[in-house]
Structure 1
């Protein structure tokens, strides 16, 4: 027999046979002692001790093997149980994240639409429009009336008559002010357009009317510019606010497009039927989709998944994850969704920054009106207080409508930092 094979054979031989062989050897020795006269009695104890030591050593080795088998068995069971627990943990993380994310998608879309629809409140719009209306007397004067008064007082030096040339100049000035062209302008520019047109008209008239000197026109323009400076400041405030709102809205549109793309991937992994956008707007498409893509239906999806992979009242999480790899990928991309909520928070805060800047610029224009003597201080103070209240009302209204804290609380439930591989 091959020596290596014999070694393996000996290693694999049951320990019981080894023990039996030792016992038989001892019995043979005892039989030999009965048939043979032992010259010295003191040699017997030595043989007995040798046999006992061999048996004890074999028993110790047997105990070690038994203990080792027990330890190995426990370790293997621990590894198997650990693997099962690990898969369960992964699944529960994915499940909870996607259920909470479904609510995040809905809330984020809803709040994007709400913020996009915001410009200012109706009351604030009415207030600004009145200040910029040439016919309005919100500050105690009508710009249209003031222009006519300045023409009569400075340009014509109080010499007017409906039937003479000066009277016709006054009537022509009134016609310019009331021109349908200016009435069709946006609320931002009529006073400035009117002032510019009247100045051009008077300069052209002065060419043939020697009574209207350049010095007279300069005096008229100086007084007119007190109003022009006020309306220019107010116009600048309106334009910058409108530009800021439009930029904010463009960024919200882009954010909603990105949300749509992200949602489509998640919905596909959860076996939802994807919406057909067609000619519909992104807002309309998303609203239609959220009639079906709801938190309750995502919960139901995972319930059906667990039923599918249940065997003997136990869920095979390893197989479930292996056969649905997209669930891991969707979970690992949830950080992108959270970043989109952060982007919305920035745009939400930018809206209030715009409103604060607008408030400051409008107040500055009112201060110019006061400094130029266009309106009394008590009127300016009253208008500034009214504008402050309207601005605070607009802030409270949008905060209550959008409820950004609701989005914060839901986002905190998504454990997006834990990636699964």
Structure 2
């Protein structure tokens, strides 16, 4: 297989750029990894079917299961559990890291920008142009002063530091307070003009407020999901700390400043399928006679730890099921968030605040700008979601937990 791979690569090289070769090499490496995983899963499944077949035959023939089959069941379950530990740990770490996505989230953040963003307008310019065209102050000097103050407010680091609320909402509220406050000292102030100014800003604030609500809910939801995943990770660690000593492995202590993810990865470099296989093989050898026969009856009587480990695998299965629920909920919450963001853009459309703009040398109408925003949101979300589904192999997790789900108490 390796020879065929390298010959194929040599044939393709003259027709590919360096970047293409690198990409294809990565694909080939991932394919080989997937084939190895499938091979191991196939061997595990065949072993499980063989043990199940023996169990059924013995029950039919002898009305009981032999000690050898009991031990092989225990061995199958323990080896399967160490594989499940690794897959579940990796999936938890992966999903935690995916709660925020720079590309997708960055685009949504640009929608709330006070400067010119995807919707084609600059809210800062909207405020200045509205104040000027409406003429909210009778004196030009007062209007100029107001505009200078408004610019300072919108560029203030304090405005940008307020969490969960777009700069536009905070800035406009401050600017309206300033405008109404100034009018109180102006005998010639035209309150109708101020109300027109406020009404104009409210068209934009309705959009920004709807966007803020979506982001606040998503931020809160992300925080809740992170806590759930971290708690699940702690539960998995506590379970592992109980199981590992049953196989004569002492779990190392966590290093100072070591992240939970790094700590888990370090533990699982030792506590894995190879380790459990060798440990169980060593146990078998303790009860093997000169003729190579294993005294399974004595093995089952004396190796209580292995039996205890097996009989409590259901806890690991339940943790895995809990993770699959969190995983599915992730996409449900993401869909709801996307719906709320699009809802905000729809508010902007209905309020007529989306402006035409030039993009890639092409003039876009407000309707085309709207379509482009919806298209970008959907594409970036799909790319993010597909990236998560491709990196987290849920079918593999479900297969491994299903193999253990039918374990037998020995």
Matched, 1:418 2:403: no
Shift of 1:190: 0.9
Match of 2:369?
Answer: 379
Helix, strand or coil at the partner of 1:239: helix
Once the two structures are superposed, the pairs formed by residues 28-67 of structure 1 within 5 Å of their partners are none
Aligned partners of 2:372 and 2:394: how far apart in 1?
33
Helix, strand or coil at the partner of 2:252: coil
Aligned partners of 2:146 and 2:95: how far apart in 1?
50
Match of 1:205?
Answer: 182
Please give the per-residue CA displacement for 1:230-251, whole angstroms capped at 9, x wherever unaligned.
0001111111111111111100
- 8 A Cα contact 1:152 1:160, kept in partner: no
Matched, 1:353 2:349: no
Once the two structures are superposed, the pairs formed by residues 135-174 of structure 1 within 5 Å of their partners are 135-156=115-136, 161=140, 164-174=141-151
Shift of 1:83: 10
- 8 A Cα contact 2:254 2:263, kept in partner: yes
- Count residues with an aligned counterpart: 338
Match of 1:389?
Answer: 379
Matched, 1:125 2:105: yes
Please say which of residues 344-353 and 184-193 is displaced more in the overlay.
184-193
Match of 2:394?
Answer: 404
1:307 aligned to 282, 285, 288, which one?
Answer: 285
1:215 aligned to 169, 181, 192, which one?
Answer: 192
Match of 2:271?
Answer: 293
Match of 1:86?
Answer: 66
Please say which of residues 277-286 and 328-337 is displaced more in the overlay.
277-286
Please give the per-residue CA displacement for 1:89-141, whole angstroms capped at 9, x wherever unaligned.
11111000000110000110011011011124322122111111100232111
Shift of 1:335: 1.0
Compare CA radii of gyration and give the structure with the larger one. 1
Please give the per-residue CA displacement for 1:192-226, whole angstroms capped at 9, x wherever unaligned.
10111101111111111223233222221111111
Matched, 1:319 2:309: no
Match of 1:369?
Answer: 348
Please give the per-residue CA displacement for 1:155-200, whole angstroms capped at 9, x wherever unaligned.
436x664xx2222122112221122222334574211101111011
- 8 A Cα contact 1:332 1:416, kept in partner: no
Helix, strand or coil at the partner of 1:315: coil
Q: In structure 1, list runs of 5 or more residues that go unmatched.
A: 1-77
Aligned partners of 2:235 and 2:311: how far apart in 1?
17
Shift of 1:283: 2.1
Helix, strand or coil at the partner of 1:257: helix
Helix, strand or coil at the partner of 2:66: helix
TM, length-normalised to structure 2: 0.78
Once the two structures are superposed, the pairs formed by residues 327-342 of structure 1 within 5 Å of their partners are 327-342=306-321
1:229 aligned to 177, 195, 206, which one?
Answer: 206
Shift of 1:414: 1.8
